[in-house]
């Protein structure tokens, strides 16, 4: 009677690790008080070797898998199990399509919170900027007034510079001395005409004494009075 090895479950990762190095013997209690045996075959049981030989109905040898492939397979299995347990099947909600003729128009909001917030922001900005704008306009007006004053002073300065340039000319100085101080150069003779102003004054007084808008009788009486006084 041949003995049976106890079935030892192994994961794909342990299987991959077992390909790189021999796994230590695992000891498990056998069913119904069977004796504990090693999971690895030994030379003491030739019958087991014959049972594991090819052609005796044993399964074909599995392809060696790398550790990364084994870990990927484990992750995919665990993810599928978790997804199946946590996300039960849900029936998609049916969308109700309302025809355009039966649809009721939605009234637009005449006043919303956004408009109120925008109005508050605009009022705040106006209150904050009003003093600055007023100060700026006042400064602009003062600047324009100062510019006009500077322009007038520059014109006056140009006039004074022109007069200074004239007084630096010797001929202009001589002319002003003749006209204002009645000075003449050595060897020159100056003649002054007197009486011209008195004649002009008498003519002015006569024209003022005999107005031309009087009637002929008044004019005649006025001439008689003048003749008597003279």
Q: CB-based contacts of 226: which residues, under 8 Å, 6+ apart?
A: 209, 210
Q: For residues 37 and 45, what is the distance between their CA atoms, to the nearest angstrom? A: 11
Tell me the pLDDT tens digit for each residue of 166-200.
989 988 888 888 888 888 888 888 887 776 555 45
Give me the pLDDT at residue 40, please: 46
In angstroms, what is the C-alpha Rg of the chain? 66
Tell me the pLDDT tens digit for each residue of 24-57.
554 444 444 444 444 444 444 444 444 444 444 5
Which one has a higher pLDDT value, 213 or 126?
Answer: 126
Give me the pLDDT at residue 59, please: 55
Task: With beta carbons less than 8 A apart as the criterion, state whether 219 and 206 touch.
Answer: no
**CA 186 distance to own-chain centroid:** 84
Residue 104 pLDDT level (bands cut at 50, 70, 90): low
Is the pTM here over 0.75, yes or no?
no
Decide if pLDDT at 17 tops 60.
Answer: no
Lookup: tokens for 1: 């009677």
Q: For residues 155 and 100, what is the distance between their CA atoms, to the nearest angstrom? A: 81
Task: With beta carbons less than 8 A apart as the criterion, state whether 73 and 12 touch.
Answer: yes
Lookup: tokens for 116: 């109120």
Average pLDDT over the chain, rounded to an integer: 70
Task: With beta carbons less than 8 A apart as the criterion, state whether 226 and 209 touch.
Answer: yes
Lookup: tokens for 40: 């690895």
CA within 13 Å, CB half, 60: 3
Closest by CA to 229, choosing from 205, 195, 200, 199, is 205
Q: How buried is residue 102: exposed, middle or buried, by Cβ count under 10 Å (0-12/13-18/19+)?
A: exposed
Q: For residues 68 and 66, what is the distance between their CA atoms, to the nearest angstrom? A: 5
């Amino acid at each position: 009677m041949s003995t049976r090895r106890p079935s030892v479950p192994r994961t794909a990762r342990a299987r991959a690790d077992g390909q790189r190095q021999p796994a230590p013997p695992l000891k498990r209690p056998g069913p119904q008080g069977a004796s504990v045996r090693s999971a690895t075959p030994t030379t003491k049981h030739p019958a087991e070797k014959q049972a594991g030989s090819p052609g005796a109905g044993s399964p074909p040898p599995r392809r060696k898998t790398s550790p990364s492939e084994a870990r990927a397979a484990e992750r995919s299995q665990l993810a599928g199990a978790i997804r199946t347990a946590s996300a039960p099947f849900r029936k998609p909600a049916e969308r109700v399509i309302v025809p355009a003729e039966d649809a009721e128009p939605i009234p637009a909001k005449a006043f919303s919170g956004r408009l109120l917030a925008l109005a508050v922001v605009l009022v705040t900005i106006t209150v904050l900027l009003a003093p600055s704008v007023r100060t700026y306009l006042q400064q602009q007006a003062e600047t324009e007034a100062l510019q006009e004053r500077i322009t007038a002073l520059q014109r006056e300065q140009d006039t004074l510079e022109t007069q200074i340039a004239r007084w630096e000319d010797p001929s202009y100085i001589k002319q002003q001395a003749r006209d204002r101080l009645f000075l003449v150069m050595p060897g020159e003779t100056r003649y002054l005409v007197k009486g011209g102003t008195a004649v002009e004054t008498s003519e002015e007084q006569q024209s003022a004494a005999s107005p031309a808008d009087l009637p002929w009788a008044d004019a005649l009486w006025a001439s008689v009075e003048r003749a008597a006084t003279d």
